[in-house]
Structure 1
Amino acid sequence: MDKIMRLTSENGLVIFSKSSCCLCYAVNILLQELLVSPYVHEIDTDPEGKDIEKALIRMGCRVPVPAVFIGGKFIGSTNEVMSLHLSGSLIPLLKPYQTSMN
């Protein structure tokens, strides 16, 4: 879907989320603790949300949210993000988007 491509190309780090999703919240908090500020797009408040959800599933998201994109590339959902983090592979992906603690 055009909207997904536009949002992921305009923002380095994007989470497609639902406001009631606890896993979306957990992924967002993890990323913030790693000193990045993701652009969070709540699909349940978007009039095109159902279309976005269907498009995310067609793109390979087993579950539509959270869907994490870094540098325009689909990374995955909660399991993939946590696996990357535990293996030490997430922080290098986030490096360009990190803010300093100053």
Structure 2
Amino acid sequence: KLLGCCLIQALVQCKFSRSCQMDEKKSLSEVQKLIQNSPALIFSIPGCAFSKKAKDLLKITGAKYTEVEIDKEQNKEMCKELMELTSRTSFPSIFVGKKFIGGCNDGFPGIIPLHNKGELIPMLRKAGAL
């Protein structure tokens, strides 16, 4: 399912900004909840060309996915948790079937390399995103 950017931004800004005074364990559980409840999930940042490429590929495949757009300055706790989960600081961070698959071109191994090897579509089907 694709959620509206405004809704997600409001959710992320409220739940993960410093002004909400959430502790790290609560933010961890919220990120984990998103991962557990989304067959395909992309954490992106506004204006990022790599995030756009990854989302465009997911759209072309017809996959149902959830997007969480993050403001890195306002959502430091979420960024920190994603870094701990993925060992990366770059975006996008993409999960399929609760498994981190990397970013656009890089990571473990990245959404475009997976697609080029013919592995993305079966992975999306298995996760229930197609």
- The TM-score normalised by the length of structure 2 is 0.68
* Residues 40 and 46 (structure 1), Cα distance of their counterparts in 2 relative to 1, 3 Å cut: farther
- Give the 3-state SS of the residue equivalent to 2:88 in structure 1: coil
* Residues 84 and 55 (structure 1), Cα distance of their counterparts in 2 relative to 1, 3 Å cut: same
CA displacement 1:2-58 (0-9 Å, x = unmatched): 1210101111111001122111011001011001121000111895x2111111111
Please tell me whether residue 66 in structure 1 is matched to residue 71 in structure 2.
no
- Which residue matches 1:97? 129
Q: How does 1:5-44 map to 2 (within 5 A)?
A: 5-44=32-71
Distance 1:14 1:50 in 2: 19
How many percent identity over aligned positions?
Answer: 30
Match of 1:78 among 104, 117, 121: 104
- Which residue matches 1:51? 77
Distance 2:69 2:100 in 1: 17
Task: Indicate if the aligned counterparts of 2:114 and 2:120 stay in contact, CA closer than 8 A.
Answer: yes
- Segments of structure 2 that go 5 or more residues without pairing to the other structure are 1-27
- Segments of structure 1 that go 5 or more residues without pairing to the other structure are none
Task: Indicate if the aligned counterparts of 1:15 and 1:68 stay in contact, CA closer than 8 A.
Answer: yes
Task: Indicate if the aligned counterparts of 1:14 and 1:70 stay in contact, CA closer than 8 A.
Answer: yes
Highest relative contact order (Cα 8 Å, sep 6+), 1 or 2? 1
Aligned Cα root-mean-square deviation (Å): 1.8
How many residue pairs end up in the alignment? 97
**How much does 1:78 deviate?**
0.9
Task: Indicate if the aligned counterparts of 2:51 and 2:91 stay in contact, CA closer than 8 A.
Answer: yes
Instruction: Tell me which stretches of 4 or more aligned residues in structure 1 moved more than 6 Å.
Output: none
Distance 2:47 2:117 in 1: 28
